[in-house]
């Protein structure tokens, strides 16, 4: 285990230069869903899959930059209902296990025997679910901001816990909900996010997304807040998240830890911000203790998001390390 004490300007690794996909398209995964996919980097490089957060968040151009484009064949996709996938913001036939099946369809389509899987936040949940289902298809795991969708992890952010650190932001978050409904904020927000009134849905979506976005960074970040506050993004992000969280991410309580033995033999790197309020470090530490093949880096000057300096440093260091093993 390693803990980082360096100041933010002391990290040597940064994102790789911007790149564009050399191929992209839409895959019909069934159930009326088409998922957007793209491939970047070296067509003959080590296969790698990036899994975005949320659920409902979608991929960005900067996610491509976590891998050396000379060494990796980088596959990214927008999960059901997210980003450029269609139908947008749909929760129909949208569960963890649909997404795991979609990943396998992509792997088969690209004729990849095994690949490195990188995921942060919800992406770490999905990466673990996929690796535990298809361990023979995963060469390595790189996981950031670990979330396993246990009930207390969900309630920490959306009922009681994070509110102790962000009382001002919390007050805005709960202001949409009458006092009589505040004992179950997930249910209260679910009703609003599924309202027939577009204005009600949009107001709730923006409040939900902003609460998560504004608590994600160690220091306030205006661009992050603007991204989460965008109405179109918020409708998918909040709507899909509440769908998953009301259903415990379609996992049995503690399932990802119960099935941890399926990861035997898979090397992994866990990267965790010390001051990650969205997915506190306790879960990352538990995963590390239960997974002997893993190493963990707790970054003392980082919160939750992937693009804080210390998180980038360790993510890029890990992908470089595993590229050299190919």
Residues annotated as part of the active site = 121, 276, 304
- The residues that bridge with 26 in the sheet, in sequence order, are 36
Contact 309, 300 (CB under 8 A): no
The two beta strands, 268-273 and 138-144, are parallel
Q: Which H helix or E strand runs over 39?
A: strand 33-41
Range 199-203 contact pairs with CB under 8 angstroms and sequence separation of 24 or more: 201/235, 201/239, 202/231, 202/234, 202/235, 203/176
- Exposure letters 173-206 (e unless 16+ CB within 10 A, then b): bbebbeeeeeeebeebbbebbeeeeeeebbbbbb
- Kindly state the tokens that stand for 57: 């968040």
| Closest among 29, 161, 52 to 107, alpha carbons compared | 29
């Amino acid at each position: 285990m390693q803990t980082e004490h360096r100041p933010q300007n002391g990290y040597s690794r940064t994102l790789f230069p911007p790149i564009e996909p050399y191929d992209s398209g839409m895959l019909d995964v069934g159930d009326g869903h088409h998922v957007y996919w793209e491939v970047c980097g070296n067509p003959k490089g080590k296969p790698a899959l990036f899994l975005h957060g949320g659920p409902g968040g979608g991929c960005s151009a900067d996610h491509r930059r976590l891998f050396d484009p000379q060494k990796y064949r980088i596959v990214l996709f927008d999960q059901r209902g997210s980003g450029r996938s269609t139908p947008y913001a749909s929760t129909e036939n949208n569960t963890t296990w649909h997404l795991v099946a979609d990943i396998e369809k992509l792997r088969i389509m690209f004729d990849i025997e095994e690949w490195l899987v990188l995921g942060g936040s919800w992406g770490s949940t999905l990466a673990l679910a996929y690796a535990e289902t298809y361990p023979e298809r995963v060469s390595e795991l790189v996981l950031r901001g670990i979330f396993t969708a246990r009930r207390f992890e969900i309630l920490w952010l959306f009922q009681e816990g994070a509110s102790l650190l962000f009382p001002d932001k919390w007050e805005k978050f709960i202001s949409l909900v009458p006092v009589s409904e505040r004992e179950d904020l997930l249910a209260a927000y679910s009703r609003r996010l599924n309202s027939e009134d577009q204005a009600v849905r949009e107001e709730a979506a923006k409040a939900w997304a902003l609460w998560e976005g504004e608590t994600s960074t160690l220091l306030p970040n205006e661009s992050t807040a603007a991204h989460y506050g965008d109405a179109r993004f918020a409708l998918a992000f909040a709507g899909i998240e509440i769908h998953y969280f009301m259903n415990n991410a379609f996992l049995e309580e503690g399932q990802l830890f119960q099935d941890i033995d399926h990861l035997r033999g898979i090397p992994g790197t866990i990267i965790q911000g010390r001051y990650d309020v969205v997915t506190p470090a306790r879960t990352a530490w538990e995963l590390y203790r239960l997974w002997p093949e893993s190493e963990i880096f707790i970054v003392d000057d980082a919160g939750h998001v992937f693009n804080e300096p210390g998180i980038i440093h360790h993510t890029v260091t890990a992908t470089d390390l595993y590229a050299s093993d190919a």
